[in-house]
Structure 1
Protein backbone atom coordinates (compact mmCIF):
# COMPACT_ATOMS: atom_id res chain seq x y z
CA UNK A 1 0.00 0.00 0.00
CA UNK A 2 1.40 3.38 -1.03
CA UNK A 3 1.83 5.83 1.84
CA UNK A 4 3.17 8.86 0.01
CA UNK A 5 0.77 10.66 -2.33
CA UNK A 6 2.08 13.09 -4.99
CA UNK A 7 0.77 16.63 -4.47
CA UNK A 8 2.74 18.42 -7.16
CA UNK A 9 6.27 18.51 -8.56
CA UNK A 10 8.69 17.29 -5.88
CA UNK A 11 6.11 17.34 -3.07
CA UNK A 12 4.29 14.38 -1.49
CA UNK A 13 1.79 13.98 1.35
CA UNK A 14 1.36 11.19 3.86
CA UNK A 15 -1.47 10.83 6.35
CA UNK A 16 -0.51 9.21 9.62
CA UNK A 17 -2.62 7.70 12.41
CA UNK A 18 -5.04 9.89 14.34
CA UNK A 19 -3.91 11.17 17.73
CA UNK A 20 -6.02 11.98 20.77
CA UNK A 21 -5.61 15.38 22.38
CA UNK A 22 -7.20 17.36 25.19
CA UNK A 23 -10.68 16.23 26.29
CA UNK A 24 -10.57 13.22 24.00
CA UNK A 25 -10.61 15.13 20.71
CA UNK A 26 -9.12 13.01 17.92
CA UNK A 27 -7.06 14.68 15.23
CA UNK A 28 -5.78 13.26 11.93
CA UNK A 29 -2.08 13.70 11.23
CA UNK A 30 -0.41 14.66 7.97
CA UNK A 31 3.10 15.37 6.79
CA UNK A 32 4.61 16.77 3.61
CA UNK A 33 7.82 15.62 1.96
CA UNK A 34 9.59 18.10 -0.33
CA UNK A 35 12.55 17.13 -2.50
CA UNK A 36 15.02 19.98 -2.83
CA UNK A 37 17.26 20.71 -5.80
CA UNK A 38 20.20 18.92 -4.14
CA UNK A 39 18.08 15.76 -3.87
CA UNK A 40 17.70 16.00 -0.11
CA UNK A 41 14.30 15.85 1.59
CA UNK A 42 12.56 18.47 3.72
CA UNK A 43 10.09 16.70 6.03
CA UNK A 44 7.34 18.98 7.34
CA UNK A 45 5.40 17.90 10.45
CA UNK A 46 6.65 14.27 10.60
CA UNK A 47 3.99 11.70 11.44
CA UNK A 48 4.47 8.32 13.13
CA UNK A 49 7.17 6.40 11.29
CA UNK A 50 6.86 2.75 10.32
CA UNK A 51 9.16 0.56 8.16
CA UNK A 52 6.98 0.92 5.04
CA UNK A 53 6.96 4.71 5.20
CA UNK A 54 10.68 4.83 5.93
CA UNK A 55 11.36 2.75 2.82
CA UNK A 56 9.15 4.97 0.66
CA UNK A 57 10.80 8.12 1.91
CA UNK A 58 14.29 6.73 1.35
CA UNK A 59 13.31 5.76 -2.20
CA UNK A 60 12.69 9.45 -2.96
CA UNK A 61 15.91 10.76 -1.46
CA UNK A 62 18.01 11.21 1.68
CA UNK A 63 16.35 12.96 4.62
CA UNK A 64 18.21 16.19 5.30
CA UNK A 65 15.71 18.36 7.23
CA UNK A 66 13.08 17.56 9.89
CA UNK A 67 10.70 20.44 10.61
CA UNK A 68 8.34 20.88 13.57
CA UNK A 69 6.19 23.80 12.34
CA UNK A 70 4.55 24.72 15.66
CA UNK A 71 4.50 23.72 19.31
CA UNK A 72 1.74 21.15 18.71
CA UNK A 73 3.35 19.10 15.92
CA UNK A 74 6.52 17.55 17.28
CA UNK A 75 5.45 14.20 18.77
CA UNK A 76 7.09 12.07 16.06
CA UNK A 77 10.32 14.05 15.86
CA UNK A 78 12.35 11.75 18.15
CA UNK A 79 11.64 8.61 16.11
CA UNK A 80 12.58 10.38 12.87
CA UNK A 81 15.74 11.72 14.49
CA UNK A 82 16.62 8.19 15.56
CA UNK A 83 15.92 6.79 12.08
CA UNK A 84 17.78 9.59 10.27
CA UNK A 85 20.58 10.72 12.60
CA UNK A 86 22.32 12.78 9.90
CA UNK A 87 19.25 15.00 9.39
CA UNK A 88 19.04 18.44 10.99
CA UNK A 89 16.02 19.33 13.11
CA UNK A 90 14.26 22.69 13.17
CA UNK A 91 11.76 24.06 15.67
CA UNK A 92 9.11 26.74 15.45
CA UNK A 93 9.60 29.59 17.94
CA UNK A 94 8.84 28.59 21.56
CA UNK A 95 8.90 24.85 20.84
CA UNK A 96 12.40 24.19 22.18
CA UNK A 97 11.26 25.65 25.52
CA UNK A 98 8.18 23.42 25.78
CA UNK A 99 9.84 20.25 24.45
CA UNK A 100 13.30 20.22 26.09
CA UNK A 101 13.55 16.45 25.54
CA UNK A 102 13.99 17.03 21.79
CA UNK A 103 17.34 18.25 20.46
CA UNK A 104 16.91 20.91 17.76
CA UNK A 105 19.65 22.34 15.57
CA UNK A 106 18.00 25.70 14.93
CA UNK A 107 14.87 27.78 15.46
CA UNK A 108 12.83 28.83 12.44
CA UNK A 109 12.45 32.51 11.56
CA UNK A 110 11.13 34.59 8.69
CA UNK A 111 14.27 34.08 6.61
CA UNK A 112 14.68 30.70 4.86
CA UNK A 113 17.86 28.82 5.63
CA UNK A 114 20.46 28.67 2.88
CA UNK A 115 19.72 24.96 2.41
CA UNK A 116 16.26 25.72 0.99
CA UNK A 117 16.38 29.44 0.12
CA UNK A 118 14.78 30.09 -3.27
CA UNK A 119 12.85 26.82 -3.08
CA UNK A 120 10.85 27.21 0.13
CA UNK A 121 9.76 30.55 1.59
CA UNK A 122 8.59 30.94 5.17
CA UNK A 123 6.81 33.32 7.53
CA UNK A 124 6.23 33.16 11.28
CA UNK A 125 2.71 33.82 12.54
CA UNK A 126 3.39 35.57 15.84
CA UNK A 127 1.14 37.00 18.51
CA UNK A 128 -0.82 33.84 19.35
CA UNK A 129 -0.95 32.62 22.95
CA UNK A 130 -1.63 28.99 21.94
CA UNK A 131 1.18 28.47 19.47
CA UNK A 132 3.58 30.26 17.14
CA UNK A 133 3.34 28.72 13.70
CA UNK A 134 5.84 28.66 10.85
CA UNK A 135 4.04 28.81 7.49
CA UNK A 136 5.89 27.68 4.37
CA UNK A 137 5.58 28.16 0.62
CA UNK A 138 6.89 25.55 -1.81
CA UNK A 139 7.75 27.60 -4.85
CA UNK A 140 7.85 24.79 -7.42
CA UNK A 141 4.30 23.58 -6.70
CA UNK A 142 2.85 26.95 -5.66
CA UNK A 143 1.76 25.46 -2.31
CA UNK A 144 1.36 27.37 0.96
CA UNK A 145 1.66 25.02 3.95
CA UNK A 146 -0.19 25.82 7.18
CA UNK A 147 -0.41 23.55 10.22
CA UNK A 148 -3.16 24.30 12.77
CA UNK A 149 -4.16 27.85 11.88
CA UNK A 150 -6.46 26.50 9.16
CA UNK A 151 -8.67 23.49 9.87
CA UNK A 152 -11.66 21.65 8.45
CA UNK A 153 -13.08 18.37 9.71
CA UNK A 154 -15.57 16.24 7.77
CA UNK A 155 -19.08 15.68 9.02
CA UNK A 156 -19.10 12.74 11.42
CA UNK A 157 -15.46 13.03 12.46
CA UNK A 158 -16.55 14.29 15.88
CA UNK A 159 -19.66 12.97 17.62
CA UNK A 160 -21.77 13.97 20.61
CA UNK A 161 -20.78 17.09 22.50
CA UNK A 162 -17.44 17.20 20.70
CA UNK A 163 -19.28 17.70 17.40
CA UNK A 164 -21.07 20.71 18.88
CA UNK A 165 -17.82 22.17 20.20
CA UNK A 166 -16.16 21.63 16.80
CA UNK A 167 -19.01 23.46 15.06
CA UNK A 168 -18.87 26.39 17.47
CA UNK A 169 -15.09 26.47 17.04
CA UNK A 170 -15.52 26.87 13.23
CA UNK A 171 -13.82 23.53 12.58
CA UNK A 172 -16.62 22.30 10.31
CA UNK A 173 -17.02 25.23 7.91
CA UNK A 174 -17.64 24.83 4.16
CA UNK A 175 -13.95 25.57 3.53
CA UNK A 176 -11.00 25.39 5.92
CA UNK A 177 -11.15 28.22 8.45
CA UNK A 178 -9.18 29.61 11.38
CA UNK A 179 -10.71 27.98 14.49
CA UNK A 180 -12.35 30.40 16.87
CA UNK A 181 -9.95 29.50 19.71
CA UNK A 182 -6.97 30.53 17.58
CA UNK A 183 -8.69 33.78 16.58
CA UNK A 184 -9.23 34.67 20.22
CA UNK A 185 -5.64 33.67 21.05
CA UNK A 186 -4.17 36.27 18.71
CA UNK A 187 -3.50 38.82 21.44
CA UNK A 188 -1.06 40.76 19.26
CA UNK A 189 -3.02 41.23 16.06
CA UNK A 190 -0.53 43.68 14.61
CA UNK A 191 2.14 40.96 14.69
CA UNK A 192 -0.28 38.47 13.14
CA UNK A 193 -1.15 40.93 10.36
CA UNK A 194 2.55 41.26 9.55
CA UNK A 195 2.76 37.51 9.09
CA UNK A 196 -0.29 37.33 6.84
CA UNK A 197 0.92 40.29 4.79
CA UNK A 198 4.13 38.39 4.10
CA UNK A 199 2.22 35.23 3.21
CA UNK A 200 -0.04 37.14 0.81
CA UNK A 201 3.00 38.20 -1.23
CA UNK A 202 3.49 34.59 -2.27
CA UNK A 203 1.94 33.50 -5.61
CA UNK A 204 -0.01 30.75 -3.87
CA UNK A 205 -2.15 28.44 -5.97
CA UNK A 206 -2.70 25.57 -3.50
CA UNK A 207 -3.03 25.58 0.27
CA UNK A 208 -2.19 22.59 2.44
CA UNK A 209 -2.96 22.17 6.14
CA UNK A 210 -2.50 19.41 8.70
CA UNK A 211 -6.22 19.02 9.41
CA UNK A 212 -8.42 19.66 6.42
CA UNK A 213 -9.07 19.24 2.71
CA UNK A 214 -6.39 21.07 0.71
CA UNK A 215 -7.44 24.08 -1.36
CA UNK A 216 -6.40 23.33 -4.93
CA UNK A 217 -6.99 26.61 -6.83
CA UNK A 218 -6.81 30.36 -6.20
CA UNK A 219 -4.93 29.83 -2.95
CA UNK A 220 -3.91 33.44 -2.36
CA UNK A 221 -7.52 34.64 -2.62
CA UNK A 222 -8.58 31.87 -0.27
CA UNK A 223 -5.97 32.86 2.34
CA UNK A 224 -7.13 36.47 2.16
CA UNK A 225 -10.72 35.31 2.82
CA UNK A 226 -9.72 32.98 5.64
CA UNK A 227 -7.88 35.76 7.50
CA UNK A 228 -10.20 38.65 6.66
CA UNK A 229 -11.37 38.75 10.29
CA UNK A 230 -7.84 39.70 11.32
CA UNK A 231 -7.94 43.04 9.51
CA UNK A 232 -8.49 46.20 11.59
Structure 2
Protein backbone atom coordinates (compact mmCIF):
# COMPACT_ATOMS: atom_id res chain seq x y z
CA UNK A 1 0.00 0.00 0.00
CA UNK A 2 1.32 3.46 -0.95
CA UNK A 3 2.44 5.55 2.00
CA UNK A 4 -0.05 8.29 1.07
CA UNK A 5 -2.86 5.91 2.13
CA UNK A 6 -1.35 5.45 5.60
CA UNK A 7 -0.09 8.80 6.83
CA UNK A 8 -2.01 12.07 7.47
CA UNK A 9 -2.03 14.60 4.66
CA UNK A 10 -2.01 17.49 7.17
CA UNK A 11 0.65 16.47 9.76
CA UNK A 12 1.12 19.95 11.22
CA UNK A 13 -2.57 20.10 12.10
CA UNK A 14 -2.78 16.75 13.87
CA UNK A 15 0.67 16.08 15.36
CA UNK A 16 1.16 16.15 19.14
CA UNK A 17 4.70 17.13 20.20
CA UNK A 18 5.44 16.25 23.82
CA UNK A 19 8.56 16.45 25.96
CA UNK A 20 8.35 13.08 27.67
CA UNK A 21 11.54 13.19 29.77
CA UNK A 22 14.51 15.59 29.97
CA UNK A 23 16.07 13.96 26.87
CA UNK A 24 13.14 12.40 25.01
CA UNK A 25 10.45 14.09 22.91
CA UNK A 26 7.63 12.26 21.16
CA UNK A 27 5.94 13.19 17.88
CA UNK A 28 2.52 11.52 17.78
CA UNK A 29 0.25 11.33 14.75
CA UNK A 30 -2.82 9.44 13.54
CA UNK A 31 -1.93 6.36 11.52
CA UNK A 32 -4.00 3.65 9.84
CA UNK A 33 -2.95 0.02 9.66
CA UNK A 34 -3.97 -1.54 6.36
CA UNK A 35 -5.66 1.76 5.60
CA UNK A 36 -8.45 1.00 8.05
CA UNK A 37 -7.45 0.30 11.67
CA UNK A 38 -6.63 3.32 13.84
CA UNK A 39 -3.40 2.48 15.64
CA UNK A 40 -1.59 5.83 15.56
CA UNK A 41 2.09 6.44 14.90
CA UNK A 42 4.87 7.92 16.99
CA UNK A 43 8.43 9.10 16.44
CA UNK A 44 10.85 9.67 19.30
CA UNK A 45 13.63 12.27 19.41
CA UNK A 46 16.43 11.38 21.80
CA UNK A 47 19.18 13.77 22.82
CA UNK A 48 22.57 12.06 22.92
CA UNK A 49 25.41 12.97 25.33
CA UNK A 50 27.10 15.16 22.71
CA UNK A 51 23.92 17.17 22.10
CA UNK A 52 23.18 15.45 18.79
CA UNK A 53 19.79 13.83 18.26
CA UNK A 54 18.62 10.40 17.22
CA UNK A 55 15.14 9.96 15.74
CA UNK A 56 13.30 6.64 15.94
CA UNK A 57 10.45 5.73 13.55
CA UNK A 58 10.47 9.21 11.99
CA UNK A 59 7.21 10.86 11.03
CA UNK A 60 6.71 13.92 8.82
CA UNK A 61 9.40 16.57 9.23
CA UNK A 62 7.06 19.52 9.73
CA UNK A 63 8.10 23.12 10.52
CA UNK A 64 7.05 22.48 14.12
CA UNK A 65 9.32 19.43 14.31
CA UNK A 66 12.23 21.45 12.92
CA UNK A 67 11.64 24.06 15.60
CA UNK A 68 11.70 21.35 18.27
CA UNK A 69 14.93 19.93 16.82
CA UNK A 70 16.55 23.35 17.02
CA UNK A 71 15.34 23.70 20.60
CA UNK A 72 16.73 20.33 21.67
CA UNK A 73 20.02 20.39 19.79
CA UNK A 74 20.66 24.10 19.33
CA UNK A 75 22.16 25.03 22.74
CA UNK A 76 25.05 22.62 22.18
CA UNK A 77 25.34 23.05 18.44
CA UNK A 78 24.04 19.57 17.75
CA UNK A 79 22.10 18.13 14.85
CA UNK A 80 20.22 14.97 13.90
CA UNK A 81 22.99 12.38 13.69
CA UNK A 82 21.07 9.09 13.66
CA UNK A 83 17.85 8.11 11.85
CA UNK A 84 16.51 4.77 13.05
CA UNK A 85 13.98 2.41 11.53
CA UNK A 86 13.32 -0.03 14.40
CA UNK A 87 11.84 -2.67 12.10
CA UNK A 88 10.86 -3.48 8.51
CA UNK A 89 7.72 -1.32 8.64
CA UNK A 90 8.65 2.03 10.22
CA UNK A 91 10.67 3.57 7.43
CA UNK A 92 8.33 5.72 5.32
CA UNK A 93 9.96 9.04 6.25
CA UNK A 94 13.63 7.96 6.33
CA UNK A 95 14.43 9.64 3.02
CA UNK A 96 12.81 12.93 4.02
CA UNK A 97 14.93 13.09 7.17
CA UNK A 98 18.07 11.88 5.40
CA UNK A 99 17.67 14.62 2.80
CA UNK A 100 17.33 17.25 5.55
CA UNK A 101 20.24 15.82 7.57
CA UNK A 102 22.58 14.24 4.99
CA UNK A 103 25.28 13.51 7.56
CA UNK A 104 22.98 11.38 9.70
CA UNK A 105 23.48 7.61 9.86
CA UNK A 106 20.60 5.41 8.77
CA UNK A 107 20.09 2.40 11.06
CA UNK A 108 17.75 -0.55 10.50
CA UNK A 109 17.28 -4.32 10.47
CA UNK A 110 18.44 -6.85 7.90
CA UNK A 111 16.22 -6.81 4.83
CA UNK A 112 15.12 -3.18 5.06
CA UNK A 113 17.72 -1.72 2.64
CA UNK A 114 16.70 -4.33 0.05
CA UNK A 115 13.01 -3.68 0.65
CA UNK A 116 13.45 0.05 0.10
CA UNK A 117 15.66 -0.46 -2.97
CA UNK A 118 12.98 -2.67 -4.53
CA UNK A 119 10.29 -0.06 -3.87
CA UNK A 120 12.45 2.75 -5.28
CA UNK A 121 13.12 0.72 -8.46
CA UNK A 122 9.47 0.11 -9.27
CA UNK A 123 7.92 1.62 -12.38
CA UNK A 124 5.67 3.84 -10.25
CA UNK A 125 7.73 4.18 -7.06
CA UNK A 126 6.48 5.60 -3.81
CA UNK A 127 7.97 9.14 -3.90
CA UNK A 128 8.68 9.08 -0.16
CA UNK A 129 10.93 6.00 -0.36
CA UNK A 130 14.38 6.20 -1.94
CA UNK A 131 17.32 3.81 -2.07
CA UNK A 132 19.31 5.54 0.68
CA UNK A 133 22.50 3.89 1.98
CA UNK A 134 22.40 2.45 5.51
CA UNK A 135 25.32 2.97 7.87
CA UNK A 136 24.33 0.21 10.32
CA UNK A 137 22.26 -2.88 9.51
CA UNK A 138 21.46 -5.33 12.29
CA UNK A 139 22.28 -8.79 10.86
CA UNK A 140 20.43 -12.06 11.02
CA UNK A 141 22.40 -14.99 12.33
CA UNK A 142 23.75 -16.49 15.49
CA UNK A 143 23.74 -14.68 18.80
CA UNK A 144 27.45 -13.84 18.70
CA UNK A 145 26.95 -12.08 15.38
CA UNK A 146 24.00 -10.09 16.69
CA UNK A 147 25.79 -9.19 19.91
CA UNK A 148 28.74 -7.80 17.95
CA UNK A 149 26.76 -4.91 16.44
CA UNK A 150 27.82 -1.45 17.57
CA UNK A 151 26.55 1.86 16.23
CA UNK A 152 29.12 4.45 17.35
CA UNK A 153 30.42 5.90 20.66
CA UNK A 154 27.91 8.79 20.76
CA UNK A 155 24.86 6.55 20.26
CA UNK A 156 26.15 3.66 22.36
CA UNK A 157 26.82 5.99 25.30
CA UNK A 158 23.05 6.37 25.68
CA UNK A 159 21.54 3.14 24.33
CA UNK A 160 21.49 -0.61 24.68
CA UNK A 161 19.64 -2.57 22.00
CA UNK A 162 18.19 -5.99 21.32
CA UNK A 163 17.47 -7.30 17.81
CA UNK A 164 14.35 -9.46 18.10
CA UNK A 165 14.81 -11.05 14.69
CA UNK A 166 12.38 -13.85 15.62
CA UNK A 167 9.57 -11.27 15.35
CA UNK A 168 7.93 -11.15 11.92
CA UNK A 169 8.83 -7.45 11.54
CA UNK A 170 12.44 -7.94 12.77
CA UNK A 171 12.11 -5.61 15.74
CA UNK A 172 15.01 -3.71 17.29
CA UNK A 173 14.26 -2.56 20.84
CA UNK A 174 16.28 0.31 22.30
CA UNK A 175 16.89 1.09 25.98
CA UNK A 176 17.67 4.74 26.69
CA UNK A 177 19.69 4.35 29.87
CA UNK A 178 19.79 8.02 31.04
CA UNK A 179 15.98 8.26 31.20
CA UNK A 180 15.27 4.55 31.83
CA UNK A 181 13.01 4.30 28.79
CA UNK A 182 12.33 1.46 26.35
CA UNK A 183 11.76 2.70 22.80
CA UNK A 184 10.26 0.18 20.38
CA UNK A 185 7.97 -0.11 17.39
CA UNK A 186 5.72 -3.16 16.97
CA UNK A 187 6.98 -5.41 19.75
CA UNK A 188 4.40 -3.99 22.15
CA UNK A 189 1.32 -1.88 21.37
CA UNK A 190 -0.76 -0.01 23.95
CA UNK A 191 -4.07 0.71 22.24
CA UNK A 192 -6.33 2.59 21.92
CA UNK A 193 -4.37 5.49 20.46
CA UNK A 194 -5.91 8.40 22.36
CA UNK A 195 -3.01 10.88 22.19
CA UNK A 196 -2.31 10.15 18.54
CA UNK A 197 -5.88 11.02 17.57
CA UNK A 198 -6.40 13.83 20.09
CA UNK A 199 -6.09 16.59 17.46
CA UNK A 200 -8.20 14.78 14.89
CA UNK A 201 -11.83 15.93 14.44
CA UNK A 202 -14.16 14.11 16.80
CA UNK A 203 -16.00 12.23 14.07
CA UNK A 204 -12.73 10.64 12.95
CA UNK A 205 -11.66 9.42 16.40
CA UNK A 206 -14.28 6.73 16.90
CA UNK A 207 -13.14 3.12 17.23
CA UNK A 208 -16.59 1.75 16.60
CA UNK A 209 -15.50 -0.33 13.63
CA UNK A 210 -15.35 -4.03 14.34
CA UNK A 211 -11.76 -4.29 13.08
CA UNK A 212 -10.70 -1.50 15.43
CA UNK A 213 -12.34 -3.18 18.42
CA UNK A 214 -10.84 -6.59 17.70
CA UNK A 215 -7.34 -5.28 17.06
CA UNK A 216 -7.43 -3.08 20.15
CA UNK A 217 -8.42 -6.08 22.27
CA UNK A 218 -5.33 -7.92 20.99
CA UNK A 219 -2.93 -4.99 21.37
CA UNK A 220 -3.46 -3.44 24.79
CA UNK A 221 -1.72 -3.59 28.16
CA UNK A 222 -4.78 -3.17 30.38
CA UNK A 223 -7.51 -5.45 31.65
CA UNK A 224 -7.64 -9.18 30.99
CA UNK A 225 -4.55 -9.91 28.88
CA UNK A 226 -5.36 -13.53 28.02
CA UNK A 227 -5.97 -12.84 24.35
CA UNK A 228 -3.04 -10.43 24.17
CA UNK A 229 -0.75 -13.16 25.51
CA UNK A 230 -2.26 -15.68 23.11
CA UNK A 231 -1.52 -13.32 20.21
CA UNK A 232 2.12 -12.93 21.19
CA UNK A 233 2.55 -16.63 21.94
CA UNK A 234 0.77 -18.13 18.92
CA UNK A 235 1.25 -15.38 16.31
CA UNK A 236 4.04 -12.89 17.02
CA UNK A 237 6.57 -15.46 18.21
CA UNK A 238 5.59 -18.50 16.18
CA UNK A 239 8.55 -18.35 13.77
CA UNK A 240 11.14 -19.05 16.44
CA UNK A 241 9.69 -18.97 19.94
CA UNK A 242 12.90 -19.94 21.81
CA UNK A 243 14.77 -17.05 20.19
CA UNK A 244 11.85 -14.69 20.80
CA UNK A 245 11.72 -15.73 24.46
CA UNK A 246 15.47 -15.17 24.85
CA UNK A 247 15.13 -11.64 23.47
CA UNK A 248 12.20 -10.83 25.76
CA UNK A 249 14.23 -11.99 28.75
CA UNK A 250 17.20 -9.86 27.81
CA UNK A 251 14.94 -6.81 27.43
CA UNK A 252 13.37 -7.62 30.78
CA UNK A 253 16.81 -7.34 32.40
CA UNK A 254 17.02 -3.67 31.43
CA UNK A 255 16.17 -1.19 34.19
CA UNK A 256 13.41 0.68 32.35
CA UNK A 257 10.38 2.30 33.92
CA UNK A 258 8.89 3.92 30.80
CA UNK A 259 7.92 2.47 27.42
CA UNK A 260 7.43 4.49 24.25
CA UNK A 261 5.48 2.45 21.69
CA UNK A 262 4.87 3.53 18.12
CA UNK A 263 1.20 2.58 18.47
CA UNK A 264 -0.99 3.62 21.37
CA UNK A 265 -0.32 5.35 24.66
CA UNK A 266 3.11 5.90 26.19
CA UNK A 267 3.65 4.12 29.52
CA UNK A 268 5.30 6.27 32.19
CA UNK A 269 6.42 4.89 35.53
CA UNK A 270 4.79 1.47 35.16
CA UNK A 271 6.28 0.38 31.85
CA UNK A 272 8.23 -2.56 33.29
CA UNK A 273 5.15 -3.92 35.04
CA UNK A 274 3.08 -3.72 31.85
CA UNK A 275 5.87 -5.35 29.83
CA UNK A 276 6.07 -8.27 32.27
CA UNK A 277 2.30 -8.70 32.29
CA UNK A 278 2.03 -8.82 28.51
CA UNK A 279 5.01 -11.16 28.05
CA UNK A 280 4.41 -13.29 31.15
CA UNK A 281 4.23 -16.52 29.16
CA UNK A 282 7.52 -15.79 27.39
CA UNK A 283 9.25 -14.99 30.65
CA UNK A 284 7.93 -18.27 32.10
CA UNK A 285 8.60 -20.21 28.87
CA UNK A 286 5.05 -21.60 28.83
CA UNK A 287 1.41 -20.51 28.84
CA UNK A 288 -0.36 -20.42 32.19
Distance 1:85 1:118 in 2: 22
Aligned to 1:209: 261
Residue 162 of structure 1 and its aligned partner are, at CA, apart by: 1.4
Aligned to 2:137: 107
Is the Cα–Cα contact under 8 Å of residues 27 and 44 in structure 2 kept in the other structure? yes
Aligned to 1:150: 188
Aligned to 1:117: 156
In the comparison of the two structures, how many residue pairs are matched? 229
Aligned to 1:96: 113
TM-score after normalising by structure 2: 0.71
Is the Cα–Cα contact under 8 Å of residues 3 and 53 in structure 1 kept in the other structure? no
Please give the per-residue CA displacement for 1:97-120, whole angstroms capped at 9, x wherever unaligned.
222243222213544422322311
Is the Cα–Cα contact under 8 Å of residues 158 and 177 in structure 2 kept in the other structure? yes
Distance 1:217 1:13 in 2: 16
Between 1:217-226 and 1:56-65, the stretch displaced more is 217-226
Distance change in 2, residues 1:86/1:184 (3 Å):
same
Aligned to 2:58: 46
2:162 is paired with a residue of what secondary structure? strand
Residue 171 of structure 1 and its aligned partner are, at CA, apart by: 2.4
- Report 1:16-27 matches (<5 A): 16=29, 18-22=30-34, 24-27=36-39
Distance 1:48 1:7 in 2: 19
Please give the per-residue CA displacement for 1:24-77, whole angstroms capped at 9, x wherever unaligned.
223311111111111110111101111221122123211100000011100111
Distance change in 2, residues 1:181/1:201 (3 Å):
closer
Is the Cα–Cα contact under 8 Å of residues 25 and 162 in structure 1 kept in the other structure? yes
Distance 1:24 1:217 in 2: 31
Aligned to 1:15: 28
Distance 1:63 1:182 in 2: 37
Distance 2:107 2:84 in 1: 5
TM-score after normalising by structure 1: 0.87
Aligned to 1:163: 212
Is the Cα–Cα contact under 8 Å of residues 190 and 261 in structure 2 kept in the other structure? no
Distance 2:221 2:266 in 1: 14
Aligned to 1:127: 166
Please give the per-residue CA displacement for 1:164-191, whole angstroms capped at 9, x wherever unaligned.
43255x1255269578278514210111
Structure having greater relative contact order (Cα 8 Å, sep ≥ 6): 2
Distance 1:3 1:166 in 2: 23
Gaps of 5+ in 2: 1-11, 74-78, 118-129, 139-145, 195-204
Distance 1:86 1:191 in 2: 35
2:155 is paired with a residue of what secondary structure? coil
Distance 1:79 1:95 in 2: 16
Aligned to 1:36: 48
Aligned to 1:64: 81
- Report 1:178-193 matches (<5 A): 180=231, 183-186=234-237, 187-193=239-245
Residue 161 of structure 1 and its aligned partner are, at CA, apart by: 2.3
Distance change in 2, residues 1:167/1:35 (3 Å):
closer
